[in-house]
Structure 1
Amino acid sequence: MTTSQISAAYLRGLIDCLRLRNIDTECFLERYAVDQALVENFQARLPVERFNQMLYEAETLTGDEDIGLHVGEQIKPNQYGVLGLSIMNCKNLEEAVKRHTRYENLVCNVAMSRYQVKGDQVELTWDTCAPEVTRHIAEENVASWITFARWISGTDLSPSLIQFQHNKPNSIEEHERIFRCPLKFSAERVRVLFPAEYLQLSLRQYDPAMLAMLDTYAERLLLELNSSGRLVDQVTASISTHLQSGEVSLGHIAATLGLSERQLQRKLKEEGLTYQGILDNTRKTLALKQIEDGMVDLYEITFLLGFSDQSAFQRAFKKWTGMTPGQYRKTSNPSLSTKQSGI
């Protein structure tokens, strides 16, 4: 069974909250064998059960029964690492929600977020089977969603409805202050409803070039996170890491894995694989993801995938799909303009 884990960066909000209350955070972290350096490490993870224990001790130390809400309210723009940065650089809230649901495992694997448009409302659900997920974690999660959405959109938006699975607390004054919408407790799942028109809200830090690089990095991190330890996964992860620099020769990738070219070729052959096949498949997977999103210019995709020039990318893409990148983009998203479709 997979252990439920959460990014150590989540601790930042908790530590900020405790410092504002003049709590000795150094001693607090020591009690849980957590080094301050861990809190600053985007890649570090800790068991959700331990984070939950820390939240409840923080409640005891501060007397704050709404500690989860207040930790979520303390969220900083970079607290979610590459996930947060990717969201910040999206064009609109719809693109941000899409990236959140795709990359959320980079910061937490206790639940799965889904969203769907239902009439004039959007339903965002957070489904979890992890018993470690308590009231504080659920409220921290939703409070951080709303706070972050307001920050990146530069608006004071509020949901239409928020539902929680836990029982109604003795007081919901802080919930009402932060969320400013109807609330329901003892529901089947954590659920946030908001007007569909919010999806088109422009985000104030939109940067397509930065977004493309962050997406490539996030895809690579997902590959590493989901790696089963198989050689093909290790090779794929290494290729993804080095694509943009163009350092994806057999020799270079073999060296990153501590192997010679012959050793890597032999091991792949034993599994019925070739290095070129893995390289092509990795590029194809990332190319299709970038093109289907419709957010990145095809010239930028050429660069991000490490092709020498546009014609090389176009030839490879036509071999994979039978279409040029521009034709594929128009087919997968007819609403895109000719200018966006590119080559």
Structure 2
Amino acid sequence: MATPLRVTGAWVQLLTDWLDAQQLPAPELRLLLDSRTGADLVPMPLWQSMLAQAVALRPSEPAVALNIGAQAKPRHVGVLGYLLLACNNLAEGVAAYQRYERLFYGEDLVQVSASTNEMALVWPAHASTGELADSVAIAALLSLLRHLLTMPPVPLRVSFAFPAPGDAQVVAAYEQFFACPVLFSAACTEVVFPSSVLTLTLPHSDPSVRQLLDRQAQAALLALPESDAFARALQQCMLRLLSEGSLNLPRVAAELHMSVRHLQRRLESRGQSWRGLLDDLRQQLAKQYLADPGLLLSDVALLLGFSEQSAFNRAFRRWSGETPLSARRRLLRTD
């Protein structure tokens, strides 16, 4: 059975930013949005309901969903957004999105096709999230490219699986926003660019940062299968805070909208503890990092949140009974 589609809490904050930009009070909608953190996973039906409430606030404005998507920044896409920033060119960025899309939607959906003249991002019709959510997502894709590049590419065409809006003014708003022909009731959701876009250099590329983010994304991906919503949200939060150098129990509890004591009780009910979770996460990442010969042992200690390599050495010996250096030698021999 396919995993139900969902979005991340970071993506939902896109709607908060739109409300702020429009100076709309919307207390009920804001209360719902504020109950979600970047670490949360938001079921697709709830996201669709939030968007419907937002669109109802601007009944006379055509294609409100496009304006919501236009607010998108890399932080709204989480690690995927920051990976895009750090990539050398759009070909790397597209590959990163395709590799880690499951972190965003809970499934791998996008298909990438390229020919001599065209490059297409394709989402099959069965993966359509409806008129509002699809419009926001594709508008956000174009908006991110427009923010990142001084000469952003113009699509050759954009297609949506949902039927054409009945209002000609709304159809015109879509064509004006995307600056290209827009098709509706299509066999899939698709954005087609000239193939030359793949070579466009991204201005903020940083290979070392990209590699670190790539490792964090790989670890986050490993946390997704066969875990419940709370476990996924907890591990996603811990991974993010670890990468920011601010991972501790009070911070995690605050991010999950819980008191420290409530989080501890919830862990205890699962036979877990904060110290055990932190050790498990660090041990899992340590094995991955030690298998990378491009990282110094001091780099691994820093990535795992240890202030000194000696503290990492002691912890690793406690976990595994061997030193990080001997583990690295063994892992590299195995590879």
Tell me, yes or no, whether TM beats 0.5: yes
Given that 1:216 and 1:286 are in contact with CA atoms closer than 8 Å, whether structure 2 keeps it comes out as no
SS in 1 for 2:294: helix
Change (3 A) 1:78 1:258: closer
Q: Is the 8 A contact 2:88 2:202 kept in 1?
A: yes
1:319 aligns with 2:314: no
What's the counterpart of residue 36 of structure 1? 34
Q: 1:54 & 1:164 partners in 2: Cα distance?
A: 21
Q: Per the alignment, do residues 280 and 141 of structure 1 end up closer, same or farther by CA in structure 2, a change over 3 Å counting?
A: closer
Q: CA RMSD in A?
A: 3.6
State the structure with bigger RCO (CA 8 A, min sep 6), 1 or 2. 2
Alignment of 1:78-117 (within 5 A): 78-109=75-106, 112-117=109-114
| Aligned-residue offset at 1:114 | 1.7
C-alpha distance in structure 1 between counterparts of 2:201 and 2:140, whole Å? 19
The range that moved more, 16-25 or 148-157, is 16-25
What is the CA-CA distance between 1:110 and the residue it aligns to? 6.2
Deviations 1:65-105 (A, max 9, x none): 41221111111231111111111110000100111111122
Q: Distance in 2 between matches of 1:57 and 1:197?
A: 39
Aligned to 2:118: 121
Give the equivalent residue in structure 2 for 1:290: none
- Note the C-alpha offset of 1:50: 1.2
Greater CA drift, 68-77 or 147-156:
147-156
Q: Which one-letter code corresponds to 1:283 in the other structure?
A: Q
CA-CA distance at 1:198 after TM superposition: 0.7
More divergent stretch after superposition (116-125 vs 137-146): 116-125
Aligned residue number for residue 256 of structure 2 = none
Matched, 1:155 2:170: no
- In 1, are the aligned partners of 2:8 and 2:104 still within 8 Å (CA)? yes
Q: Is this contact kept in 1: 2:114–2:120, CA < 8 A?
A: yes
The Cα of 1:135 is off from its aligned counterpart by: 0.5
- Secondary structure, in 3 states, of the residue corresponding to 2:68? helix
Note if contact 1:302-1:313 (Cα within 8 Å) is conserved in structure 2.
Answer: no
Q: Deviations over 1:98-129 (max 9, x none)?
A: 11111122222366112121222111112353
Aligned to 1:205: 204
For the residues of structure 2 that align with 1:123 and 1:49, how far apart are their CA atoms? Answer: 27
1:125 alignment partner, SS class: strand
| Unpaired segments ≥5 residues, structure 2 | 246-271, 302-322
Distance in 2, Cα, partners of 1:175 & 1:285: 49
1:55 has 2:51 as partner? yes
Question: What number of residue pairs does the alignment pair up?
Answer: 271
Pairing of 1:275-314 with structure 2 (within 5 A)? 283=288, 287=292, 299-300=294-295
What does residue 74 of structure 1 align with?
71
Residue 113 of structure 2 aligns to a residue whose secondary structure is strand
In 2, the alpha carbon distance for the partners of 1:136 and 1:308 equals: 50
CA–CA distance in structure 2, aligned partners of residues 36 and 208 of structure 1: 35
Offset of residue 45 of structure 1: 1.6
Preserved CA contact (<8 Å) 2:159 2:186: yes
Q: TM-score, normalised by structure 2?
A: 0.69
In 1, the alpha carbon distance for the partners of 2:148 and 2:154 equals 14
The corresponding residue for 2:223 is 224
Cα distance, 1:303–1:119 mapped onto 2, change above 3 Å: farther
**C-alpha deviations, 1:6-44, integer Å up to 9, x for none?**
1122222222323333321333233xxx25252xx3211
Q: CA deviation at 1:280?
A: 11
Flag structure 1 segments of 5+ consecutive residues without an equivalent: 246-253, 265-277, 288-297, 321-343
2: CA distance, partners of 1:92 / 1:301: 27
Q: Contact (CA 8 Å) 2:29, 2:53: kept in 1 or not?
A: no
2:20 is equivalent to residue 24 of structure 1: no
Q: Pick the aligned partner of 1:142 from 125, 138, 141.
A: 138
Once residues 280 and 106 of structure 1 are traced to their aligned partners in structure 2, the CA distance between those partners, rounded to angstroms, is 17
CA distance in 1, matches of 2:329, 2:149: 36
Q: Judge conservation of contact 1:112–1:128 (CA < 8 Å) in 2.
A: no
Alpha-carbon distance in structure 2 between the residues aligned to 1:13 and 1:119: 35
SS in 2 for 1:203: coil
Q: C-alpha separation between the residues in 1 aligned to 2:223 and 2:291?
A: 14
CA distance in 2 between partners of 1:220 and 1:145 (Å): 25
Q: Aligned in 2, Cα 1:159/1:144: closer, same or farther, shift over 3 Å?
A: same
Structure-2 separation of matches of 1:128 and 1:11: 23
